[in-house]
Structure formats: C-alpha cells, structure tokens
Amino acid sequence: MRADAAPDSPVELSAEAADYLEYLATQRRASPHTLSNYRRDLERLQALTSNRPPTTINAHDIRRCAARLHAGGLGPRSVARALSSWRGMYRWLVRQGRVDTNPVLGVRPPRAPKTLPKALSPDQASTLLDGAEGDPLRVRDQAMFELFYSSGLRLSELVGLDLAGAHSISEGEVTVFGKRGKTRRVPVGSMALQALQAWLAVRGGFAAADEEALFVSQRGARLSARSVGARLAEFAQRRGLPMHVHPHMLRHSFASHLLQSSGDLRAVQELLGHASIRTTQVYTHLDFQHLAKIYDSAHPRAKKNG
C-alpha cells in the first residue's frame, strides 16, 4: 500500500479505533461522509504502524507516520486532516482512561506552499476600467471598481464607506476603517475621482433619504459584499477579460502595480493598511515575476533559440 493511500480493501480496525467510530456515530451523530473520512484516516494510521495497538504508539511514531504520508504524495491539508482524526481519537481515549497521553499533541503537518495572490496585468486593468457606460447602476459599478484599483481598499472597507466621507474624496483622498478598527487615509486617483463624481450625480435616484452608505443597491440600501463580488464578475466578463475577477484581485493589482512602479515597500504597506511588512512582502514576489518576464523577453542570453 502506498503511504498516501488508504488500504485497498477494508481492514479490521483495532478495538480502540472501532469504539471511537461507534462513539462518533452514536454520540456525536457524525454524518456518513465524516465517518468515512475518519475511518480512512484511522486505517492509514493502522497500516503505517503495522497494526500495532494504538495504546503502544508514541509521538515519534506519529511524526514518522505523518512524514510518510507526505513523502507518499499526500498534500499538507490532507496530512493535517489525518492528524486531526488521530488527535481526536486519542483525545477520546484519554478521556476514557485507555491511554495516559495524546501522542498527536504538538505534531504539526508540513507547511502548505504559499500561493501568490493573483493580480491583473496593467493592460488587463485598463481593459476592465476603460470606457464609460450610461446605465446608472453601471456608473456606480465603474466608481466602485475604479476606487478599488485606485486606492487598494479591502472589500469590507469599500462597502463600509459612507456618503459623509465624500467631501474628502473630492479632495483626492478617502478615509477608511480597516481591520481592528484602525483608520487610514489613502489617495484617490483622477480616474476614480471622475467616476465617483459621476456616481454621486445619480446616487440620489436610488438611495433612501436616511441612507448613509456611499454605494447603494437598486433598492436604496447599503450594497452588500456579496453583491459587489457578483457585479465585478459580471462587469469583467462584459469587458472581455478571460478570467474570473474577484474584488480582492483589484487590491492585489493595486499593490503589485504600485510596487513595480515605485519599489517603495513601506509606502505600499502603509497604503494597504498592513500591520506587518511581512504581509506586504508577498508583493515583492509578484514584482519579481514581472521583472523575470521582462528579462526573459529582452535579455539576449535569455531568449530561446528559434
């Protein structure tokens, strides 16, 4: 049996594992799908330890089993799930007095590789945002997405903007409430400013008299985050972009394009509202990808022979 696979045929589980599954089914009322996952993970543990009784397994054995699963091709998340299943069984066995300690405590799964945030290219951003439309709701959408890209806002920050802050926008900046209640001021570019002014000119036709939100729905209430995401996906499709565009992608694009132009990581950190520069440093990898593409296309010793 491969280390990353469950046994090819059903195995006779140890008494401890069988009792634990019975507890999950009868006392915790776990779903059949959950029980199937737990059984597979417990079968893996049994196979990896050559059917040794769970009461004889220690932390070193658990670490070795997790390492074998990963070496056999199981991804970090799947290894983490297996460890969680094993940890749960031993937690129950400790409560039952059948083992003294939980050998899975403190055993961590392998780290999942960090995935870089997806960003639009500058040309794709232009394709998305260039061109005006007369429909009032699309005027609103244009203003939202211009502001997203211009100022690098979080989705929650955008939908949380109030009309009372529009006077600062007219002066070329916007004050937003970020994570942990922190406020920050970020600049608003000229294209975003024009789009916002166009929206403010028609907003009164939608917003309820007492509505404070800057961006409102067709019914006149504050626009929800889910609605913004749906509108952006439709907006990008209509503009001919070949990928799914989500709100956070515009924030990523703001950061990576600004870093490509300025190289000022601290300034990008401040504009994004990141508490730690480590969070911002992911955009240096995006910037390197951009530079690597330029190198591959321009450097005479990097070009492939035709």
Higher-confidence residue of 33 and 2: namely: 33
User: Domain 15-96 adopts which CATH fold?
Assistant: DNA polymerase; domain 1 (1.10.150)
pLDDT grade, residue 116 (50/70/90)?
A: low
Mean pLDDT for 247-252 is: 86
Long-range Cβ contact pairs of 66-73 (< 8 A, separation 24 or more): 66/107, 66/109, 66/110, 68/3, 69/3, 69/4, 69/44, 70/109, 70/110, 71/3, 72/2, 72/3, 72/4, 72/5, 73/2, 73/3, 73/4
The radius of gyration of the chain's CA atoms, rounded to the nearest angstrom, is 27
Least trusted range by pLDDT, from 39-43, 189-193, 277-281, 292-296: 292-296
Identify the burial level of 32 via C-beta atoms within 10 angstroms of its C-beta, where 0-12 means exposed, 13-18 middle and 19 or more buried: exposed
Please state, in angstroms and rounded to a whole number, the distance separating the CA atoms of residues 257 and 124: 12
Domain positions in the chain are 15-96, 122-298
Does residue 260 have a pLDDT over 80? no
Mean pLDDT of the chain: 82
Assign domain 122-298 to its CATH architecture: Orthogonal Bundle (1.10)
31: pLDDT strictly greater than 70: yes
| Residues designated as active site | 154, 179, 248, 251, 274, 283
Task: Give yes or no on whether 15-96 and 122-298 have one common fold.
Answer: no
Q: Any idea which of 68-82, 96-110, 227-241, 248-262 has the lowest mean pLDDT?
A: 248-262
pTM: 0.54
Instruction: Give 278-291 pLDDT, tens digit per residue.
Output: 655 555 554 445 44
Is 294's pLDDT higher than 60?
no
HSE at residue 260, side-chain half, CA atoms within 13 A, is 20
